[in-house]
Amino acid sequence: MKVATSPRSVILSTTSEDKEAEAVRRKLLDAVSQDDVTKIQELCKSVAELNLTLTDDILRDPEDRATVLHTALINDRLNVAKYLIESDEQLLYETYDIEGQHRTVCLKKYTP
Protein backbone atom coordinates (compact mmCIF):
# COMPACT_ATOMS: atom_id res chain seq x y z
CA MET A 1 0.00 0.00 0.00
CA LYS A 2 1.44 3.39 -1.00
CA VAL A 3 0.59 6.34 1.20
CA ALA A 4 0.97 10.02 0.30
CA THR A 5 1.88 12.16 3.28
CA SER A 6 -0.42 15.18 3.20
CA PRO A 7 -2.07 15.60 6.65
CA ARG A 8 -5.61 14.24 7.08
CA SER A 9 -5.93 13.79 3.32
CA VAL A 10 -3.73 10.76 2.89
CA ILE A 11 -4.45 9.04 -0.38
CA LEU A 12 -4.21 5.28 -0.37
CA SER A 13 -3.53 3.91 -3.81
CA THR A 14 -4.60 0.29 -3.65
CA THR A 15 -7.92 -1.51 -3.50
CA SER A 16 -11.49 -0.31 -3.32
CA GLU A 17 -11.62 -1.66 0.25
CA ASP A 18 -8.74 0.65 1.18
CA LYS A 19 -10.54 3.59 -0.41
CA GLU A 20 -13.69 2.73 1.57
CA ALA A 21 -11.65 2.50 4.76
CA GLU A 22 -10.03 5.85 3.99
CA ALA A 23 -13.48 7.43 3.56
CA VAL A 24 -14.60 5.95 6.88
CA ARG A 25 -11.42 7.27 8.55
CA ARG A 26 -12.11 10.79 7.30
CA LYS A 27 -15.71 10.58 8.49
CA LEU A 28 -14.60 9.23 11.90
CA LEU A 29 -12.16 12.11 12.38
CA ASP A 30 -14.82 14.62 11.32
CA ALA A 31 -17.36 13.08 13.71
CA VAL A 32 -14.82 13.24 16.53
CA SER A 33 -14.14 16.92 15.83
CA GLN A 34 -17.90 17.56 15.99
CA ASP A 35 -18.32 15.43 19.15
CA ASP A 36 -21.02 13.50 17.27
CA VAL A 37 -21.53 10.25 19.17
CA THR A 38 -24.46 9.19 16.98
CA LYS A 39 -22.33 9.48 13.84
CA ILE A 40 -19.49 7.59 15.56
CA GLN A 41 -21.92 4.76 16.39
CA GLU A 42 -22.99 4.55 12.73
CA LEU A 43 -19.39 4.63 11.52
CA CYS A 44 -18.38 1.87 13.94
CA LYS A 45 -20.89 -0.34 12.11
CA SER A 46 -19.20 0.56 8.82
CA VAL A 47 -15.83 -0.34 10.34
CA ALA A 48 -17.17 -3.78 11.31
CA GLU A 49 -18.66 -4.27 7.83
CA LEU A 50 -15.20 -3.62 6.35
CA ASN A 51 -13.79 -6.29 8.70
CA LEU A 52 -11.63 -3.68 10.41
CA THR A 53 -11.19 -2.54 13.99
CA LEU A 54 -10.70 0.99 15.26
CA THR A 55 -7.09 0.09 16.07
CA ASP A 56 -6.15 -0.75 12.46
CA ASP A 57 -3.50 1.47 10.88
CA ILE A 58 -5.73 2.46 7.99
CA LEU A 59 -8.17 4.12 10.43
CA ARG A 60 -5.53 6.12 12.33
CA ASP A 61 -4.89 9.82 11.86
CA PRO A 62 -2.22 10.02 9.13
CA GLU A 63 -0.48 12.95 10.84
CA ASP A 64 0.42 11.34 14.16
CA ARG A 65 -0.98 7.78 13.90
CA ALA A 66 -3.45 8.51 16.70
CA THR A 67 -6.53 6.33 17.00
CA VAL A 68 -9.97 7.93 17.08
CA LEU A 69 -9.89 7.60 20.89
CA HIS A 70 -6.61 9.49 21.14
CA THR A 71 -7.98 12.16 18.81
CA ALA A 72 -11.13 12.48 20.92
CA LEU A 73 -9.15 12.82 24.16
CA ILE A 74 -6.62 15.27 22.73
CA ASN A 75 -9.51 17.49 21.58
CA ASP A 76 -11.61 17.13 24.78
CA ARG A 77 -14.40 15.24 23.00
CA LEU A 78 -15.34 13.37 26.14
CA ASN A 79 -18.72 12.06 24.96
CA VAL A 80 -17.05 10.41 21.99
CA ALA A 81 -14.18 9.13 24.14
CA LYS A 82 -16.61 7.59 26.64
CA TYR A 83 -18.51 5.81 23.87
CA LEU A 84 -15.31 4.54 22.24
CA ILE A 85 -13.91 3.21 25.52
CA GLU A 86 -17.16 1.44 26.30
CA SER A 87 -17.40 -0.07 22.82
CA ASP A 88 -13.77 -1.07 22.15
CA GLU A 89 -11.55 -1.56 25.18
CA GLN A 90 -8.59 -2.44 22.93
CA LEU A 91 -8.26 1.27 22.08
CA LEU A 92 -6.95 1.85 25.61
CA TYR A 93 -3.80 -0.14 24.84
CA GLU A 94 -2.85 1.51 21.54
CA THR A 95 -0.04 4.03 21.14
CA TYR A 96 0.60 6.90 18.77
CA ASP A 97 3.50 9.27 18.09
CA ILE A 98 3.59 12.94 18.93
CA GLU A 99 6.72 15.08 18.74
CA GLY A 100 8.77 11.93 18.22
CA GLN A 101 7.51 10.22 21.38
CA HIS A 102 5.17 7.27 21.82
CA ARG A 103 2.00 8.14 23.74
CA THR A 104 -0.85 6.05 25.02
CA VAL A 105 -4.10 6.58 26.89
CA CYS A 106 -3.53 6.25 30.62
CA LEU A 107 -6.45 5.83 32.96
CA LYS A 108 -6.30 5.82 36.73
CA LYS A 109 -9.01 4.32 38.85
CA TYR A 110 -10.53 6.77 41.26
CA THR A 111 -10.59 5.45 44.80
CA PRO A 112 -12.10 7.72 47.44
64 part of a folded domain:
yes
CATH of the domain at 49: 1.25.40
Q: Report yes or no on 22 lying in a domain.
A: yes
What's residue 66's pLDDT?
84
Residue 100 in domain:
yes
Residue 67 amino acid letter: T
Q: Is residue 11 part of a domain?
A: no
Distance from C-alpha of 46 to C-alpha of 112, rounded to nearest angstrom: 40
- Full-model pTM: 0.68
Residue type, 62: P
Spatial distance between the Cα atoms of 62 and 25, rounded to a whole number of angstroms: 10
Number of domains in the chain: 1
Examine the pLDDT at 57 and tell me if it is beyond 90. no
What is the average pLDDT across 24-49? 92
The larger pLDDT score, comparing residue 98 to residue 91, is at 91
Residue 102: beta bridge partners? 97
| Beta carbons of 83 and 44 less than 8 angstroms apart | no
Confidence at residue 106, expressed as pLDDT on a 0 to 100 scale: 54
Its domain, for residue 21, covers: 16-104
